[in-house]
Amino acid sequence: MGEYDKAERTYRQLMNQMSQNSYVRGECLDGLGTIAMRNGRYAEAIDHGIHAVQLYENHQLQDLLLIAKKYNNLGMAYGASGVFSRARHHFERSNKLKYYLFHNDQHMDMADTYDNIGNCYEFEGDFDQAEKHFHLALTIRITNTINLAHDVLPFDHPLLGVCYNNLDEDYVYMFDYAEAKNYFDKALEVYQFTYGSDHPEMKRTQDNITKMITALSD
């Protein structure tokens, strides 16, 4: 906690030394937003994030990927505060910028954002849309090269386990237990191979299986 306090003081001191429209002020605001998020001060994180993005856009910053990441951070802050429609809005803006930048809707940088959008829909109870976006993330990760030693994503890569676990939870919510079981098994295979039996992701998957069995027995 002490390191965060020290960083926050430094950011605020820097901001006092520069103009309201300084680009570097945006960097300070972004840093303050990150600290606020980690300390659970989500409204403050949102406020800092909005002002940081405004400064970047006012300076016509050409680094579109950086702005896309800031929109993603804003989405995370809105999601953490439970405002899922606003979270989705910022995640979608993030991916629109990435699409404009990469001219490709299958770029790896878009997969995490699709997962975030899917999580928002799941929290809102729109499981069909959640499924759609989780599948988009999975497809991107399977079809893209992220390891120089592979032409495709290795079957045992932990990112695939995340996709499978998102999908199995969604299918449980939709009462499609056969599909849920299919993705549970895939997730367990990935995590067992990658991490071993004691990893938290193994526990998460096993807990999800227990929830499904409980739901089936009710």
Residue pLDDT, tens place only, 120-139: 999 999 999 999 999 999 88
- CA angle at 203 for the pair 202 and 208, rounded to the nearest 5°: 100
Percentage of the residues of the chain whose pLDDT score is greater than 70: 88
Contact 214, 172 (CB under 8 A): no
Mean pLDDT of the chain: 83
* Rounded average pLDDT over 108-112: 88
The residues, any chain, with a CB within 8 Å of residue 161's CB and separated by 6 or more, are 186, 187, 190, 191, 194, 201, 205
Core vs surface per residue 30-44: b (16+ CB within 10 A) or e? bbbbbbbbeeebbeb
C-beta contacts of 9-13 below 8 A and 24+ residues apart = 11/35
CA distance 196 to 200: 10
CA distance 202 to 94: 31
pLDDT in tens, 25-77: 888 898 899 999 999 999 999 999 999 888 888 776 667 888 898 899 999 99
pLDDT of residue 132: 94
Report the interhelical angle of 23-38 vs 2-16 (nearest 10°).
160
CA distance 44 to 35: 10
